[in-house]
Every structure is written in structure tokens, then in C-alpha cells.
Amino acid sequence: MLHEVRAALALGPGEVFCDCTLGGAGHSLALLHDIQPDGRLIGIDRDQQALDIASQRITATAGDVQFIGLHGNFADLDELLLETRLPGVDAFLFDFGVSSPQLDIPQRGFSYAQEAPLDMRMDPGQHTKTAAELLNSLNETELAWILRTYGEEKWAARIAAFVVKARQLHPLQTTGELAELVRAAIPASARREGGNPAKRTFQALRIAVNGELEAIESGLEAALRWLNPAGRIVAISYHSLEDRIVKEHFARGAKGCVCPPQAPLCVCGQVPIIARYAHKPLVPTSAEKQDNPRSRSAKLRWAVKYQRNVAEDNS
Ligand SMILES: C[S@@+](CC[C@H](N)C(=O)[O-])C[C@H]1O[C@@H](n2cnc3c(N)ncnc32)[C@H](O)[C@@H]1O
């Protein structure tokens, strides 16, 4: 959705652009020219391997744009941006989820289509729990909750029961074992609907392993604070849970006050910080979906920060 991203970010020469999900740097490389001359590109990724490869690509073509590559979770955006010593950012891009290389390298354990250890950590260097560790340690209720909430899996309870039974014999270790177990847990008639039956379970585990939804909450919240006046923010989501967080965040930022509607006076003191935002998400064209099947579920939302603090406008 490069065309839509470019239009919504509306970058200009000399601006500071922060790509919070650098990945393979597809977006950043394409947008680099828009901040020339003298712009600054901050590229963040929690995956050191992705960051290293992307950094090499960018530095080879950055010209007079200053590139700052930062390894970390955009949930910690405050700490990451403080490192740059920049006072603010003109535009942010979030392109959530996993990248194609992460899905395509079997050892990362993200794909139900390839046999590998059940890892799924975007940042394996952090020594956080792998998908196998979660599957083998959580109780049945906790597992069912993860599958139902993060995967919107209607057979969550059955799959969780199958996991608990299977791990009594031996711990679940591989993507293949889990994919096979999900197949067995879902009744044959239900398996015929909508793609691989393991898709929702893998999505749910990945979200849990990486704390993805909590990161989106904190990342968006910090990005809105760091945005310069009239700054732009674009977020691309790939499932309804992500999209709901973005939508609610932008709506809240545009509304400001969070007092209950029955309150006679505003006591929260919060003012709107978003001047305009996409009420409806933009989606890829059918040509793009055909060209890049992974873009099929993409939803893009944008928001623009007020030119001035609205408290000043009202005073
Ligand atoms: C969909 S890809 C981004 C692709 C990129 N826009 C491009 O054009 O190549 C998502 C990337 O964001 C990273 N990522 C996901 N969640 C993150 C987080 N909370 N903090 C930092 N990076 C994150 C992933 O490691 C992955 O490399």
C-alpha cells in the first residue's frame, strides 16, 4: 500500500520520519527520497537480524538523509527516541505483525507450513518465553483464553484440551506437531472453512509470545506525544484486534475529554490532539492483493496532529 502510505505521510524535505517497524525496509527505502535533502530517518525493529540487513540497504542509498537504526520494541518508544536526542518527529509509520523473511525462515517457528522448533519470538535475543514454553506451561483455561482472544478461534477450548492431553505424553516442540494437533482437535466439517485450520492458533500464540497488542497500545500512545504539530501517523494492521486498537486510539485522540457523558463538567482536562483521522480504513486494491497475497487483510489508518495545541486555540 505504498501509494496510500506516501499520500498519508505527506513527507517533505528535511523532515524527521520514524519507521517503527523497519522490517526489510521496503517502505523506508521507497520513502527516503521524500525527506531529501537533509531529512532524518529513524528505523526501529525488535528483530536484530532484520535491523542489520535493513540498515545495510538504507546506508547504501541514504545520500544526505541521516539514518538512525534502533534495535528495540516500539512499546519502549520513549526510551528509543530519547537516544536520538531529537526534539520531535514529523511522521510515524507502523506496519504491524511479522515480515515475509520472518515467515519464510523455518527456524523462526512462525509458519505452520514448515517444520521447525516452536519459537515465534521476534526478538530471540531477549530470552523471553518461546511458543513451546507457553504451550507446555500454561494451564488449559489460560491456553483457551489466548486462542479465543488473540486468534478468535471458536474451537479454542477443544484445542487447549488436546494440547494439555498431548503434553502429558511428551512436551510439544515443533510447528508440525502443533499444526497436526490443531487439525485433530477441530471437527472435520469445520476444517473445510477458511484456509489452514492452524492459522488462528499460530496467530494467537505469536501475539501472546511477543506481547503484540500491549506494544501497539504503548507505541501509538507515545508516538502521538512525540509527533510535532501537524505531524502524521500511519498504521497498517493485519487483523481486527490490531485494527480495533488503532481505531480507538485515533478516535480518543480526536475526542480528547474522557469524562463520562453524564458528567456536567470536564474534570479530566484532556484536550483533543488529533485534528483529522481516517474514520474508515483504506484497503489494498484487488491488483495489489493479487500481486502480494500477504497484503490481503491489510487495513491502513492515518491521523494528523493539530497544528497547535487546541488548549491554546481555546484560550
Ligand atoms: C510487516 S513487517 C514490516 C515490513 C516493512 N514495512 C517493509 O516494508 O519491509 C513488521 C516488522 O516489524 C517488526 N516489529 C513487529 N512488532 C514490533 C515491535 N513491537 N517493536 C519493534 N519492531 C516490531 C517485526 O520484527 C518485523 O520486522
Give the range of the structural domain holding residue 174, as residue numbers without chain letter: 111-210
Chosen domain end from 145, 178, 210 = 210
Q: Which helix (H) or strand (E) holds 227?
A: strand 227-237
**Which residue(s) pair with 177 in the sheet?**
none
Query: What is the structure's pLDDT at 310?
Result: 52
Considering the domain architecture, whether residues 97 and 120 belong to the same structural domain is answered as: no
Model confidence pLDDT, tens digit, residues 29-71:
999 999 999 999 999 999 999 999 999 999 999 889 999 999 9
Query: What is the structure's pLDDT at 162?
Result: 98
Considering the domain architecture, whether residues 77 and 44 belong to the same structural domain is answered as: yes
* Structural domain count, the chain: 2
Stretches where the chain sits below pLDDT 70 are: 193-194, 309-315
- Which of 44, 45, 214 should be mutated for ligand 1, with most atoms under 8 A from CB? 45
Considering the domain architecture, whether residues 192 and 132 belong to the same structural domain is answered as: yes
CATH number at residue 120: 1.10.150.170
Whether residue 106 is contained in a domain is answered as no
Query: What is the structure's pLDDT at 189?
Result: 79
Query: What is the structure's pLDDT at 314?
Result: 47
Residue nearest to atom 22 of ligand 1 (CA): 45
**Mean pLDDT score of the chain:** 94
CATH number at residue 21: 3.40.50.150
Residue 122 near ligand 1, beta carbon < 6 Å: yes
CA atoms within 13 A on the CB side of 201: 30
Closest-lying ligand 1 atom to the alpha carbon of residue 212: 19
Considering the domain architecture, whether residues 202 and 223 belong to the same structural domain is answered as: no
Considering the domain architecture, whether residues 249 and 170 belong to the same structural domain is answered as: no
**What length does the chain have?**
315
Gap between the Cα atoms of 24 and 15, Å rounded: 22
Nearest to 28 by CA among 55, 64, 63: 55
Q: Hey, what amino acid is at 50? A: A
- The beta-strand segments (E) located in 57-143 are 66-71, 89-95
Residue 95 near ligand 1, beta carbon < 6 Å: yes
Treating both helix axes as pointing N-terminal to C-terminal, what angle do 212-226 and 240-255 enclose, rounded to 10 degrees?
30
Model confidence pLDDT, tens digit, residues 154-179:
999 999 999 999 999 999 999 999 99
Residue 121 near ligand 1, beta carbon < 6 Å: no
Neighbours of 224 (CB within 10 A): 19
Whether residue 206 is contained in a domain is answered as yes
Query: What is the structure's pLDDT at 315?
Result: 44
Considering the domain architecture, whether residues 202 and 80 belong to the same structural domain is answered as: no
Considering the domain architecture, whether residues 166 and 127 belong to the same structural domain is answered as: yes
Chosen domain end from 194, 210, 226 = 210
Whether residue 168 is contained in a domain is answered as yes
Q: Hey, what amino acid is at 284? A: P
Whether residue 23 is contained in a domain is answered as yes
Residue 47 near ligand 1, beta carbon < 6 Å: yes
Whether residue 140 is contained in a domain is answered as yes
Neighbours of 104 (CB within 10 A): 13
Considering the domain architecture, whether residues 176 and 308 belong to the same structural domain is answered as: no
Chosen domain end from 210, 235, 262 = 210
Considering the domain architecture, whether residues 237 and 204 belong to the same structural domain is answered as: no
Cell numbers 498519508 correspond to 8
- Which of 1, 4, 21, 299 should be mutated for ligand 1, with most atoms under 8 A from CB? 21
Nearest to 200 by CA among 208, 301, 281: 208
- Which of 20, 99, 105, 126 should be mutated for ligand 1, with most atoms under 8 A from CB? 99
Residue nearest to atom 13 of ligand 1 (CA): 21
Residue 74 near ligand 1, beta carbon < 6 Å: yes
Gap between the Cα atoms of 233 and 223, Å rounded: 8
Query: What is the structure's pLDDT at 195?
Result: 80
Longest dimension (CA), the chain: 69
Considering the domain architecture, whether residues 162 and 286 belong to the same structural domain is answered as: no
Cell numbers 474522557 correspond to 258
How many angstroms separate the alpha carbon of residue 258 from the centre of ligand 1? 31
145-162 in b/e form (b: 16+ CB < 10 A) is: bbbbebbebebbbbbbeb
How many angstroms separate the alpha carbon of residue 23 from the centre of ligand 1? 5
Considering the domain architecture, whether residues 205 and 226 belong to the same structural domain is answered as: no
Task: Tell me the backbone φ, ψ of residue 231, rounded to 5 degrees.
Answer: -70, 160
How many angstroms separate the alpha carbon of residue 308 from the centre of ligand 1? 31
Whether residue 279 is contained in a domain is answered as yes
Query: What is the structure's pLDDT at 127?
Result: 84
Considering the domain architecture, whether residues 245 and 204 belong to the same structural domain is answered as: no
- Cα-atom radius of gyration of the chain, to the nearest Å? 21
Whether residue 291 is contained in a domain is answered as yes
